[in-house]
Amino acid sequence: MKKILVSGGAGFLGSHLCDQLVAEGNQVTCLDNFFSGSKENISHLLSHPNFELLVQDVSFPLSIEVDEIYNLACPASPQLYQQFPIETFKTSILGSLNLLELAKTTGARIFQASTSEVYGDPQLHPQPESYFGNVNPIGPRACYDEGKRGAETLFFDYHRQHQVDIKVMRIFNTYGPRMSAKDGRVVSNFILQALQGKGLSVIGDGTQTRSFCYVDDTIQAMRLLMDSSMEITGPVNVGNPTECTILELASLILDLTGSKSTLSFLPAAADDPLRRQPNISMAVRDLHWSPQIQLQEGLLKTIAYFDSYLSKNTG
């Protein structure tokens, strides 16, 4: 049994990770202040003897005995982080500093959930880990993009200066059950709008692309990276390399839900990437990982989740 801290453990990805770690027999402490996470995501774990909830902001120091640390704390919704840019930046930078200090003190291995947003609006396709990106450092998305880039800097500096055992993963668009219904992400938006018979809100002309990876595949990659040899520090891209336009996603969701909703086009967002596709050759080589769940299968599971969500929260 390992003592494992999951910062942001009540979030979308964090709660699924907590499920996996508890199921493996570990002692798991979930650190969350519910700024973007939800207690409902972990309610089924609260009575488990191997699970503990610590309600605290990661931007404040903490002291706890741990063997491993997963840092997933940070709002990932553009809608939320643009509303609270300073809080988002503090979470990335101060949160990383605090957890890296904890890792240095305890000798714990530490994982950073970085993001494809470190590549900005990329000029290279698909994006390999060696690409430095094309990021606007003063734009409305910079609090998240540059916060995550700064966190990566801290992780590698602690590794070089203090020999902290680090793992850094750049996560591309992930979707699945427990996505927040209010975070404005395209998959959750489209599914909820389709199920409610509302127009699907397409930002821009819909020709921009994303690569959608189901949550179970992403969690498996996290576990593989964390358990890999010390020499594999990352950053490692994790995502589905199949590129999909927003219009193609909308069409598929309409088909799978049987919805008669139409498309509603909205102005393009500032600094919104036009293309997003990961090069996952490093994950395939070093982790022996590739996504297994196809988009249609994953969307059906996500649609079922949101259909149940609407039944409980409407009417």
- Summarize pLDDT for 247-279 with one digit per residue, the tens: 999 999 999 999 999 999 999 888 888 889 999
Confidence of residue 45 (pLDDT cuts 50, 70, 90): very high
Q: In the 3-class helix/strand/coil scheme, how is the chain assigned residue by residue?
A: CCEEEEECCCCHHHHHHHHHHHHCCCEEEEEECCCCCCHHHHHHHCCCCCEEEEECCCCCCCCCCCCEEEECCCCCCHHHHHHCHHHHHHHHHHHHHHHHHHHHHHCCEEEEEEEHHHHECCCCCCECCCCCCECCCCCCCHHHHHHHHHHHHHHHHHHHHHCCCEEEEEECCEECCCCCCCCCCHHHHHHHHHHCCCCEEEECCCCCEECCEEHHHHHHHHHHHHCCCCCCCCCEEECCCCCEEHHHHHHHHHHHHCCCCCEEEECCCCCCCCCCCECCHHHHHHHCCCCCCCHHHHHHHHHHHHHHHHHHHCC
What's the mean pLDDT when you consider all of the chain? 96
Catalytic choice (119, 144, 214, 309): 144
pLDDT tens, residue by residue, 213-242: 999 999 999 999 999 999 999 999 999 999
| Span 18-35, average pLDDT | 98
Domain range summary for the chain, segments of one domain joined by +: 3-172+214-239+277-292
**pLDDT (0 to 100) of residue 184:** 87
Q: Which CATH architecture has domain 3-172+214-239+277-292?
A: 3-Layer(aba) Sandwich (3.40)
Q: Report the share of the chain in percent with pLDDT over 70.
A: 100
Q: Could you tell me the pTM of the whole model?
A: 0.96
Residue 315 has pLDDT above 80, yes or no: no
Q: What local confidence, expressed as pLDDT, does residue 183 receive?
A: 86
For the question of residue 119 being annotated catalytic, the response is no
